Amino acid sequence: MKKYFAIGIIVLLFVLFAIFTVYRQKYTPVLNLINPATVQVDLNNNGKIDDGETVCIPETEVFSLYDKEKAPAFAKEFKLTTREIITLGYMADNYANSILLSKPVKVKFTGKITPECKYGDVYINNKNYSKLLQESGFASLKGEFIKEKFLEKLKFTAKNKLVIYNIKSGKYHNTDCKYGLMSSDYSIIPESQLPKNAKPCKYCRIHPEKSTIKNNIKPPDSTAASGSIRLILSDFTQKLKPDKNCDTQGCTALCDEINKAQNSIDLAVYGMNIVPAVYEALYNARNRGVVIRMVYDKSSSDKDYYTETEQFLKLIHQYKSDFIADKPGYTNKLMHNKFVIFDNETVFTGSMNLSYSGLSGYNSDAVVIINSKDIAKLYTAEFEQMLSGKFHELKTKPDLPYNFNLNGSKISVYFSPYDKTSEKIIQIIDGAKSYIYVPAYLITHEKITSALIHAKNRNVDVKIIIDANSTTTRNTKYLVLRENKIPVKTENYAGKLHSKSMIIDDKYIILGSMNFSNSGENKNDENTLVIENSELAKSYRKFFTYLWAKIPDIYLTRNARAEGKDTIGSCTDGIDNDFDGLTDFEDSACK
């Protein structure tokens, strides 16, 4: 009986595999949309856009965001202005991306091939995509369009106040300005997403009423202090390209602490770039007799993310990486901390890597500086375990307090992988009464996801912003969260939304280096803090609300690409934002 049962299981698995194989051959994912009528699909399932994978939709005329000359013929009947055509193109692009991008589709090729593309009908969920475009009001099919639907969409064009923003010059233009599209370094965005220092074009927005950014949202304070704690938040909506200037609150605060150090500086860093001000501050500290020690991450391959880390070693008296030559599985777990201890009494920690992207404010990070000898003692105990060669699961929990009362603030500190940090986070989520706001790089942790859904079900206001890259992360939970009615926005700025944090009930802040993932909790070296302080929580809540307002609501249903025209600055920042080996205009999404 057992023999036949085993045979049955094998046959069943074979049948399921065959069905899956046929499915993969029949359906192919959409990797990119050049415009709503030209899509790029992954025919060979290698995760990249290759020659012959661009599909033009036949007999379909549709509005184009970046080429007003390609407006459908029926637009002439209504004598649409350039602004209306571009706005309709913006809306059509959002609609097309929301139903196609990253979705499996079936393509029926017509046989027509040009140097630009193959022609074919696309089907999504067994529905003809061309027909969906026509029914949406954004396109005509075989010369026919649905007038009522089109007029309905036309009503909304006035509400979409779009501008052309030239990232290099920092100027913004009306969408019909002849100077707006002269540069390749531009994005078409809502006015509300303009950086605060954007300058109006003197030709198309010369009048005062045109030059005022009425919809722009004033940034809140990015730093707050209470007692012995200072909170620093970086606003990546204002910095669209990383630099080495060290002119941000986070970088200047780090340098100030280095310059004040008299005896010791202990760095636990995922990696470092040579930002001159930071390097010089460490150099000067060493010269005045400060003992500098460091632990850092090192991969078992030659693909370390921060290749300049080892150039700092000549400044370091004692250092240790988590690299073990004959244990690649162990080594490939991350020493992902980002904390610095000064003179055994001050701790600088959070989500910010000591890198160009972190220190320049190009990424959105959350950092705290805490003056406390007791907390510094706990961090030092963790640091010295790693300095002795005990990383990851080799560490043991120090016999020291983890909960502190500091000038009216309650602070709890947890270290991965031994502290099972998610249990502490879930306890706070389960006790939430009013709101839970989550600015986080990613969410893949199943139990944290379930706790957030349960909070939503008991009418807690849950809102989440995640990084654009995180929609394609293995085990990502953003779809599950959306399916359970939790608003989840993907950010659409060049830098990463890199914080790993939660703000709860104007009472708690959770932040640190740990992503809300299984690896962050159970494999990597991480530190997470729970800070109970109403003043700081209110400050962070205002900052989250600002970020939420800056990111258009279209990204509640559509996922912004990490590199592409809809992600502001990503095509001109010199960064491979989506880790596909292609930078800026090498990437087809930017062309």
Which sequence positions are flagged as catalytic? 498, 500, 505
Give the span between the Cα atoms of 463 and 554, in whole angstroms: 15
Residue 91 is classified by DSSP as H
Half-sphere exposure of 217 (CA within 13 A, CB side): 20
Paired tokens of 562: 């990490």
What is the distance in angstroms between the CA of the first residue and the CA of the last residue of the chain?
62
Buried-state track 333-346, b at ≥16 Cβ within 10 A, e below 16: bbbbbbbbbbbebb
Give yes or no for a contact between 335 and 268, defined as CB atoms under 8 angstroms apart. yes
Q: How many CB atoms within 10 Å of residue 483?
A: 9
Residue 100 is classified by DSSP as H
Q: How many CB atoms within 10 Å of residue 2?
A: 6
> Environment class of residue 329 by beta-carbon count within 10 Å: exposed (0-12), middle (13-18) or buried (19+)?
exposed
Give the span between the Cα atoms of 455 and 446, in whole angstroms: 14
HEC per residue, 134-201: HHHCCEEECCECCHHHHHHHHHCHHHCCEEEEECCCCEEECCCCCCCCCCCCEEEEEHHHCCCCCEEC
Alpha-carbon distances of 307 from 310, 312, 423, rounded to whole Å: 7, 11, 35
Give the span between the Cα atoms of 334 and 520, in whole angstroms: 9
Question: Which H helix or E strand runs over 336?
Answer: none
Strand partners, 118: 55, 113
Strand partners, 190: 162
In one-letter notation, the amino acid at residue 246 is C
Give the span between the Cα atoms of 98 and 333, in whole angstroms: 35
Q: Kind of pairing, strands 346-350 and 366-371? A: antiparallel
Paired tokens of 125: 């969920």
Tokens 């460490």, residue located: 282
Of 8, 56, 14, 6, the residue nearest 34 (C-alpha): 56
Paired tokens of 583: 């930078």
